[in-house]
C-alpha cells in the first residue's frame, strides 16, 4: 500500500521506519490500559523535540487532530486517539539527558520508563519518588500528562511535586520552556498548569525532575484484619496521630486471594483486608514509629502484624502489591480500574457503598488502593464477551465516581480524566469552573487539535469511534 500525501509528509519529517499507516499496525495502537478503543489514522515515532514540533505544525496546516502517547499503560483513555488523526508515540525519546548531583536534579526525555531513572541514579544514593504500580513500563512523559502517583507519594507527593520544568511543543508547534531547576520561579506556575493536562495543552519533550536521597533505612509492616472497617480506622488514626508513613496500601480479600495465587507474597487469603505500611528515613526513630503503628493497629483489632525481616521479604510484599492489578487476571478475563479519592475518614462507608454497587450491578469488585491518601482503585471484574456487560461495568464505574463526589472527594487521584470520566466533570465542577478551564484550553489550543475528546464533556461520544476520512487529507 502506498502512503497518502499526508503520510508522506510525516515520512519526510521522521523517516519511513518511524511512520505506521497500515491497518494491521494501527490496530496495535487503538487501546491503552483502559477499556475504550479508537483507531488512529497514522502513528509516528519522533526521535527529537524538533521532529515533534514539525509534526504538530503539519497537523495544524492540515487541521488534523493529534494525540501524544507514552508507554500505553494509562487507565483513563488519555492516549486513545478518540478523534482519529495522528498518534505521536514518544517511546524513542527515552534518554536521561543530564544528572545534576549537586542540585539533585535530572533532565529526561518523555519516553524514559519511570523505573529506569531511579536505576540510573541509584549508584549515587538517589531515586525518583513517584512510583506508579506500572513503573516498569510507564513513561515519565505519561506520568506528567496524568499527574501520576503511586504508593510512596503519601509522604513525598505526586508527579507535580517532583517536576520543576518542562520543554513543551505548544499546540501551534512552537517549542517553549516552563520552569527550570529552581524550586520556585516567579510568575505564573505554567509548569503546574501543564502537569496533569493530559496532552491537551501541548506535548512535553524534555522534563526536569527532582531527585531524592534514598532513605537511610526502612520498616515495612503487614497488618492483617478481619474487617475492612478496622483496617480503615487504623489508617485514619495513624495519620491523625501525626505519623505520616511513606506508604499505606490496602488490599481486600478478593484481591488478596488473586495476589497470593499469582505472587505467593505471604498474604493471608482468609483476611478481610490487609494494610501494607512503610516508614522510612533516618534509622534512629524508625523502630519507635513502627511500634506506634503496631499499637494503633492492635487497638483496632488487628489479628496479626509482622515486620519484613529483610530486603528480600520487603521486596516480596511489595511485588504482591504492585502486581495486584495483573493478578486479578487469574480470577476474571477482564477488569475495569476505577480511580477516585475520598477523605480517609470516609473510607468505611465509601467501601460499603462500592460493595453495594457490585451487588446492584451483579458484578464482583476487588479493592487495591492507596489508603493513606484515600485514593481508591476499585477493580470491577467483567467479561466483555457477554453482551452488555462492558456497558454495565462502565455504568457501575460512573456510580462509584458519584459516590466519591458525594463523600467530598474527587474524580481522580492519579489516572487522569481522559475519556473515561469526562462526562462526569460537570458533576464535580460548577459551570463557572468549567468555563475557566475551557478558556485556558481555547487560549493555548484554539483549533482544538491537541488530544481532543479528553477531560471535558463532548456530546455524542461513544465507546469506539471508527476512523473516518478527513477532508483534503487523502488518507
Topology agreement, domain 96-213 and domain 217-326: no
pLDDT at 2 (0 to 100): 78
User: Percent of the chain beyond pLDDT 70?
Assistant: 96
pLDDT at 3 (0 to 100): 86
- Backbone dihedral region for residue 5 (phi beyond 0: left; psi -120 to 50: alpha; all else: beta): alpha
pLDDT at 183 (0 to 100): 87
pLDDT at 458 (0 to 100): 75
Cβ-Cβ contacts under 8 Å for 237 (sequence gap 6 or more): 296, 299, 300
pLDDT above 90 (res 56): yes
User: Percent of the chain beyond pLDDT 90?
Assistant: 95
Q: What is the mean pLDDT of the chain?
A: 95
Q: 305 has which bridge partners?
A: 223
Write out the DSSP string of 209-255: EE-EEPPSEEEEEEEEES-HHHHHHHHHHHHHTT---SEEEEEEHHH
pLDDT at 459 (0 to 100): 53
pLDDT above 60 (res 82): yes
Q: What is the pLDDT of residues 14-52, one digit of tens each?
A: 999 999 999 999 999 999 999 999 999 999 999 999 999
Q: How confident is the model at residue 461 (pLDDT cuts 50, 70, 90)?
A: very low
CATH class of domain segment(s) 332-423:
alpha beta
pLDDT above 90 (res 430): yes
Q: In CATH, which of 3.40.50.1000, 3.40.50.1820, 2.60.40.60, 3.30.465.10 is domain 96-213?
A: 3.30.465.10
Q: How confident is the model at residue 281 (pLDDT cuts 50, 70, 90)?
A: very high
Q: What is the pLDDT of residues 183-217, one digit of tens each?
A: 888 999 999 999 999 999 999 999 999 999 999 99
pLDDT above 50 (res 1): yes
Annotated domain spans of the chain = 96-213, 217-326, 332-423
Give mean pLDDT, residues 207-232: 97
Q: What is the pLDDT of residues 342-373, one digit of tens each?
A: 999 999 999 999 999 999 999 999 999 999 99
Give mean pLDDT, residues 287-315: 97
Instruction: Name the grid cell of 418.
Output: 481522559
Cα angle, residue 367 at apex, residues 362 and 368 outer, rounded to 5°? 155
pLDDT at 234 (0 to 100): 97
Of 112, 103, 151, the C-alpha closest to 129 is 151
Give mean pLDDT, residues 402-429: 97
Distance from the Cα of residue 427 to its chain's centroid: 22
What CATH code would you report for 217-326? 3.30.70.2190
Amino acid at each position: 500500500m502506498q502512503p497518502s500525501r499526508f503520510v508522506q509528509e510525516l515520512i519526510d519529517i521522521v523517516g519511513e521506519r518511524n511512520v505506521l499507516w497500515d491497518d494491521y499496525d494501527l490496530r496495535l495502537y487503538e487501546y491503552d490500559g483502559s477499556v475504550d478503543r479508537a483507531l488512529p489514522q497514522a502513528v509516528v515515532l519522533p526521535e527529537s523535540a524538533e521532529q515533534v514540533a514539525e509534526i504538530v505544525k503539519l497537523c495544524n496546516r492540515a487541521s488534523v487532530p493529534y494525540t501524544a502517547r507514552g508507554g500505553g499503560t494509562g487507565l483513563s483513555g488519555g492516549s486513545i486517539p478518540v478523534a482519529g488523526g495522528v498518534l505521536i508515540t514518544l517511546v524513542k525519546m527515552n534518554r536521561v539527558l543530564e544528572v545534576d548531583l549537586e542540585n539533585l536534579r535530572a533532565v529526561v526525555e518523555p519516553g524514559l520508563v519511570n523505573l529506569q531513572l531511579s536505576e540510573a541514579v541509584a549508584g549515587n544514593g538517589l531515586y525518583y519518588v513517584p512510583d506508579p504500580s506500572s513503573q516498569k513500563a510507564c513513561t515519565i512523559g505519561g506520568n506528567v500528562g496524568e499527574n501520576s502517583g503511586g504508593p510512596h507519594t503519601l509522604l513525598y507527593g505526586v508527579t507535580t511535586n517532583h517536576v520543576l520544568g518542562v520543554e513543551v511543543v505548544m499546540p501551534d508547534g512552537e517549542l517553549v520552556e516552563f520552569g527550570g531547576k529552581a524550586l520556585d520561579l516567579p510568575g505564573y506556575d505554567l509548569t503546574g498548569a501543564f502537569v496533569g493536562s493530559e496532552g491537551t495543552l501541548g506535548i512535553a519533550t524534555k522534563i526536569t525532575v527532582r531527585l531524592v536521597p534514598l532513605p537511610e533505612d526502612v520498616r515495612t509492616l503487614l497488618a492483617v484484619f478481619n474487617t475492612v472497617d478496622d483496617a480503615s480506622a487504623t489508617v485514619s488514626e495513624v495519620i491523625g496521630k501525626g505519623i505520616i508513613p511513606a506508604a499505606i496500601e490496602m488490599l481486600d480479600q478478593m484481591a488478596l486471594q488473586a495476589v497470593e495465587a499469582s505472587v505467593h507474597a505471604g498474604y493471608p487469603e482468609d483476611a478481610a483486608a490487609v494494610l501494607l505500611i512503610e516508614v522510612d528515613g533516618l534509622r534512629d526513630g524508625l523502630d519507635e514509629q513502627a511500634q506506634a503503628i503496631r499499637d494503633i493497629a492492635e487497638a483496632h483489632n488487628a489479628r496479626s502484624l509482622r515486620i519484613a525481616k529483610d530486603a528480600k521479604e520487603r521486596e516480596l510484599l511489595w511485588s504482591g502489591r504492585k502486581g495486584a492489578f495483573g493478578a486479578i487476571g487469574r480470577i476474571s478475563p477482564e477488569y475495569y480500574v476505577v480511580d477516585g479519592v475520598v477523605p480517609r475518614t470516609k473510607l468505611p462507608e465509601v467501601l460499603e457503598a462500592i460493595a453495594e454497587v457490585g451487588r446492584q450491578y451483579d458484578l464482583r469488585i476487588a479493592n487495591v488502593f492507596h489508603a493513606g491518601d484515600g485514593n481508591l482503585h476499585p477493580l470491577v471484574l467483567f467479561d466483555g464477551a457477554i453482551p452488555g456487560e462492558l456497558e454495565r461495568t462502565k455504568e457501575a464505574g460512573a456510580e462509584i465516581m458519584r459516590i466519591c463526589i458525594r463523600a467530598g472527594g474527587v474524580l481522580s487521584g492519579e489516572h487522569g480524566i481522559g475519556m473515561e470520566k469526562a462526562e462526569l466533570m460537570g458533576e464535580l465542577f460548577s459551570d463557572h469552573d468549567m468555563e475557566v478551564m475551557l478558556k485556558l484550553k481555547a487560549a493555548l489550543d484554539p483549533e482544538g487539535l491537541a488530544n481532543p475528546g479528553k477531560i471535558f464533556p463532548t456530546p455524542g461520544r461513544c465507546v469506539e469511534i471508527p476512523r473516518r476520512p478527513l477532508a483534503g487529507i487523502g488518507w
